[in-house]
Chains A and B, each alone.
Chain A
Amino acid sequence: MPLSSTMIPIATQTLTVNAGTITFSSIPQNYTDLVLVSVFGASVGMDIHVRFNGDNNNNYSTNRLFGNGSAAYVSRADDSGIQPRTSVNQAATVTTILKENIMNYTNTTIYKPVIGRYDYSGQVETHAGLWRSTAAITSVSMVSLGQAFVTGSTFTIYGIKAA
């Protein structure tokens, strides 16, 4: 039987024009976790929501811990997506990194926990979120409300297998 790697790149999107939404659909159901790695830029005030299965209702909540060079802060949001802290002083060039770990995404018994990092030159941030659904995740969208992801932004989703 062929052997395979543990962390498998499922798909990558690189923007050739600005876009407000990136979607990975028809995600295979044969991994344990998903990892979404995004490197992008956008204008000041970017408000990112990570959504699953096209659900844009207020079925998500996120705890955020962040520092901006002078102090540490915490905040929490109930919103229409996993919502890292809204950016400030963010560059329009491709300098921001968002990494989301979407755990046990095929489990149809539990709500889906997400843990991630959202960092750029003006901020270090980590967050833990929850999508209140027991549905298996078949699509992942990154939505930037108000400001689009700029050309050159890249988005890759990986699958991670457990033993």
Chain B
Amino acid sequence: MGSISLKTKSKSNNLTAPGDVDLGAMIPIATSTVGAGGVATVTFSDIPQNYEHLQIRFISRNTRGSNTLDAIGIRANADSANNYANHRIYGAGATVTGTGEITVNRITISHAPASTGAGANAFGSGIVDILDYKNTNKNKTIKSLGGYDDSTQSNGIVGLYSGVWLSTTAINSLTIVSTDGTGFSQYSSFALYGIKIAGA
């Protein structure tokens, strides 16, 4: 009996032969899980250019001295110059805050608990969408939903975040940074996905 080769396709109505496999529209590209000792930044490089959008799903606990929380930022193509702007609305405690920044060196995508001030084992989470990332005709928009609850501190944050990278260059790498701290603690994990459109 001859073997059947697998042909991976993402368009369900285009499965035409035995062995064709529909992978769906959301494809895992890479995962970075922080090991013992933590890391300063997390970078996804050599990002494939054959998707329409990217998504990062993460859990995070940052390192920031004795503070209870830290902001998480993202940069494209290792650009650490002030080529970003961002806005966010978030709730913390009993206060709703809307704020924004221009001419900054990252887009804020969420907040996370920070050791050693945060409660043990508490992690934040978020979902980040990087839209039309390879389009060379426009600046790049990034939006996210993120936050955390640190029950032992009776505090936390939840917010909606968006920002722009003022560049028309296709994104081929993404770096996640601790905005005010020094990095990410063990077990923080970031998973990058590619999102396809119909017919891709």
Residues of A in contact with B (beta carbons under 8 Å apart): 2-7, 32-33, 61-65, 72-76, 78, 101, 103-104, 107, 109-111, 113-115, 117, 126-130, 132, 134, 160-163
- Choice from A5, A110, A127 contacting B24 with Cβ under 8 Å: A5
B27-35, B101-109, B174-182 - interface stretch = B27-35
Contact A117 B145 (CB under 8 A): yes
- Choice from A62, A65, A103 contacting B149 with Cβ under 8 Å: A62
Contact B93 A76 (CB under 8 A): yes
| Contact status of A6 and B59, CB under 8 A, knowing A63-B157, A103-B125 | no
The 7 closest A-B pairs by CB, nearest first: A74-B91, A128-B147, A65-B91, A5-B24, A163-B28, A162-B191, A113-B125
Cβ-based interface call for B124 (8 A):
yes
Q: Given the complex of chains A and B, what is the CA–CA distance between A126 and B160 in angstroms?
A: 8
Known: A64-B91, A76-B154, A115-B146. 17 other contacts (CB 8 A): A3-B21, A3-B23, A65-B159, A72-B96, A76-B149, A101-B57, A103-B57, A104-B123, A110-B61, A110-B121, A113-B59, A114-B125, A115-B125, A126-B147, A130-B148, A130-B156, A162-B57
| Contact status of A64 and B158, CB under 8 A, knowing A3-B6, A74-B96, A163-B30 | yes
B37–chain A nearest beta-carbon distance, Å: 15
Contact B26 A7 (CB under 8 A): yes
Residue from B6, B57, B148 with most neighbouring chain A CB atoms (10 Å): B57
Can you name the residue of chain B whose Cβ is closest to the Cβ of A109?
Answer: B187
Cβ-based interface call for B1 (8 A):
no
Contact A109 B156 (CB under 8 A): no
B38–chain A nearest beta-carbon distance, Å: 14
Q: Given the complex of chains A and B, what is the CA–CA distance between A33 and B123 in angstroms?
A: 14
Cβ-based interface call for B92 (8 A):
yes
Contacts of B92 in A (CB 8 A): 63, 74
Contact B96 A65 (CB under 8 A): yes
Cβ-based interface call for B122 (8 A):
yes
Cβ-based interface call for B8 (8 A):
yes
B153–chain A nearest beta-carbon distance, Å: 10
- Choice from A4, A109, A128 contacting B158 with Cβ under 8 Å: A128
Q: Given the complex of chains A and B, what is the CA–CA distance between A105 and B61 in angstroms?
A: 16
Q: Given the complex of chains A and B, what is the CA–CA distance between A104 and B60 in angstroms?
A: 11
Sample of 8 A–B contacts (CB below 8 Å): A32-B57, A75-B94, A76-B156, A109-B121, A115-B145, A126-B160, A160-B57, A162-B57
Cβ-based interface call for B183 (8 A):
no
Contact B151 A78 (CB under 8 A): yes
- Choice from B6, B145, B148, B150 contacting A126 with Cβ under 8 Å: B145
Contact A163 B26 (CB under 8 A): no
Contact B23 A5 (CB under 8 A): yes
Can you name the residue of chain B whose Cβ is closest to the Cβ of A6?
Answer: B26
Give per-residue flags for B120-156: 1 if the beta carbon is below 8 A from chain A beta carbons, else 0. 0111111100000000000000000111111100111
Q: Given the complex of chains A and B, what is the CA–CA distance between A15 and B157 in angstroms?
A: 34
Contacts of A115 in B (CB 8 A): 125-127, 145-147, 158
